[in-house]
Chain A
Amino acid sequence: MSSSEAPTLTRDGDRLVFTGRLDADAAALLWRPATAARAEVTGALTLDLTAVETLDTNGAALLLHAAGSEAAPKVEGASAPVAAVLARAVTAAAAPGPAQGGRPHSFLSGIGAQAFGLLARGQDRVVFVGETMLAALSYIIRPRGVRLSDLLRHLDEAGTRAFGLTILLGFLLGVILAFQSSIPMRQFGAEIFIPQLVGVSLLRELGPLMAAIILSGRTGSAYAAELGTMTVNEEVDALKIMGIDPIRMLVLPRLLAGTLVMPALALLLTLCGLIGMGLVMLGLGFPPTATMNQLRQTLSVGDMAGGLFKAAVFGLAIAGIGCRCGLAAGRGPQAVGDAATGAVVGGIVATIILDGFFAVIFFRLGW
């Protein structure tokens, strides 16, 4: 038979006769016919391989499928190379497969298992917070172990390198807020009060909140990926074995950087937002002096201090969540991706929850 001819399978009583080259293409072509032919055989099945030119392991998979059993099939006419490949495939296929997993959880025990998992994860988080606080306290008492160069690098990465994005988003936010609020305010002839509305929104809420989202997306995920990779590469274990506290060396500089850069980012974002709003006001026919007067009447140092304090707390939370996700990463490249995702989602959720707490606290304090 010429090698250019397609492989074939025919049934001759209880014999399945194969011809040609039995490889992946043959397996694709003859898999279903083999299933059908095997079903029609009533007695002891024999594979006739007299006209088989060559056999590889994909072709051997086809023959074992046709034989319908993992035990050595009855074969006739196989050349020595074909018989050798088939024998090797039979041995490989006969090797015991993976052990069956235990009985799946019932509904109730599934809920229990989930609850225990949740508790364990909660416990891990509390331990992380505790360890970090201890490391911070011990650093205050004995300020060693945090390298200034590390801190400066993190300040640069989380802060100065985020300035461009912060300026752009802040400016656009101010423009959008001013335009959107001008539409209903115009109906009441109250466009002059747009600076008050936008100013308070930006300084107290949107500035810190948007800066937190920027920090979470840029820096929280980067912390998680960096520490996650270190965990996967066993660098964190190496630190522990060398007697160096990974919390002090890896986490504290990042927490400090996150806490310090956030007020700066929030302030920058707010200022750019106010500039954007000022330009819209100019377009609406209000001179800068009028806009500034409105801002002066409404905004206080207390508003700014409250906003910046919130921003610092958001920064601490986002950096902490990023570091924690990285250090808790599992094994393999997927673990790093999961850690980065967890850091971004966790950072944003934590920011919103904390913002809710601040809203209640500031309301109670009358700020």
Chain B
Amino acid sequence: MTIATDFAKERSKRESGAPVVTATGIAMAFGSRTLFRDVSFEVKRGEVFVILGGSGCGKSTLLKLLIGLFPPTAGSIEMLGTNILTDDDDAREAVRTRIGVMWQSGALFGSMTLLENVMLPLEAHTKMPEDARREAARIKLGMVGLSDAANRLPAEISGGMAKRAGIARAMALDPPLLFLDEPSAGLDPITSAGLDQTIQELARDLGTTFVVVTHELQSILAIGDRCIMLDKEAQGIIATGDPRTLRDTATHPTVRAFFRREVMA
């Protein structure tokens, strides 16, 4: 697939308002244990889409299915115009350069500085000269507030800094679609709010679409345009919509308990 074809396809999709991600009837089971079934949703261009739910409901597994780490038991996933389960390897490989993933721990390479971590995708997938890669990586680190830590190793920074550096690396190729796995988990409220603000600014200024897996209520309400809520008992989606509306109007007992921090009877 040529770059020109990619661009044309992407632009025509934007013009037609087509979704960036379409998941249809996804099911996942490990052996005889079903995690979820019949999960369907769409992620629209430019929105911050949140996958939420309690511990063990399969949020992170769903994220891994979406990014193509392993296939679901059933269903189909279309991302940026490519069916990541049935299309050929070249098409799937092309999609991988157009998405970014921030892992829960940051997953930074320990032997490289933060700057080198961010430069790595640029080195692998672009023909930018070394000084251009360095300058672009420096700007990305500046966007997540890590300019002063550019030369530090991952072992020398805090968990919150590692998450922000993970976002900077995920943004290296300026992908139209970013997946974030638990970006706020384990962070103090101030750092967490700063990260939320960064996500909102990137969505607004760069038009990036975000798919965020989290169960941090404050973050969900701050950044989420739309969300789906997974439930372990129901083995699927129990709520879809604007998180603020769900907080105020949901009637499902688990959804109400989640948004109001209530103990389930």
Which A residues are within 8 Å of any B CB, using their own CB?
3-4, 21, 23-25, 27-29, 31-32, 56-58, 60-62, 64-65, 81, 84-85, 88-89, 91-99, 330-335
Given A332-B110, A332-B155, A61-B132 contact (CB < 8 Å): yes
- Chain B residues touching A, majority SS: helix
The digit string for B139-160, where 1 denotes a CB below 8 A from any CB of A, is 1111101011111111110000
Contact present for A57 and B129 (CB under 8 Å): no
Given A99-B148, A331-B155, A28-B132 contact (CB < 8 Å): yes
> How far, in Å, is B117 (CB) from chain A's closest CB?
13
Contact present for A58 and B122 (CB under 8 Å): yes
Which B residues are within 8 Å of any A CB, using their own CB?
3-4, 7-8, 11, 110-111, 122, 125-129, 131-132, 135-136, 138-143, 145, 147-156, 171, 173-174, 201, 204-207
Question: Can you name 30 A-B residue pairings with CB atoms under 8 Å?
Answer: A3-B11, A4-B4, A24-B125, A24-B174, A25-B3, A25-B126, A27-B126, A27-B128, A27-B132, A27-B136, A56-B174, A56-B206, A58-B126, A58-B174, A65-B131, A81-B205, A85-B205, A88-B206, A89-B143, A92-B140, A93-B142, A95-B147, A96-B147, A96-B148, A97-B148, A98-B149, A98-B150, A98-B151, A98-B152, A332-B153
Return the contact of A88 from the options B4, B128, B205 (Cβ within 8 A): B205
State the CA gap A97–B113 with chains docked (Å). Answer: 14
- Chain A residues touching B, majority SS: helix
Minimal Cβ-Cβ distance residue in B for A89: B139
Contact present for B128 and A95 (CB under 8 Å): no
Contact present for A81 and B207 (CB under 8 Å): yes
Return the contact of B7 from the options A4, A28, A89, A331 (Cβ within 8 A): A4
Q: Which residues of A contact B8 (CB under 8 A)?
A: 3-4
> How far, in Å, is B1 (CB) from chain A's closest CB?
14
State the CA gap A60–B145 with chains docked (Å). Answer: 17
State the CA gap A141–B153 with chains docked (Å). Answer: 46
Q: Which residues of B contact A98 (CB under 8 A)?
A: 147-152
Contact present for B139 and A61 (CB under 8 Å): yes
Q: Which residues of B contact A95 (CB under 8 A)?
A: 142, 145, 147-148
State the CA gap A12–B81 with chains docked (Å). Answer: 40
State the CA gap A331–B206 with chains docked (Å). Answer: 35
Contact present for B152 and A28 (CB under 8 Å): no
> How far, in Å, is A284 (CB) from chain B's closest CB?
54
Minimal Cβ-Cβ distance residue in B for A54: B207
State the CA gap A226–B231 with chains docked (Å). Answer: 37
State the CA gap A335–B156 with chains docked (Å). Answer: 13
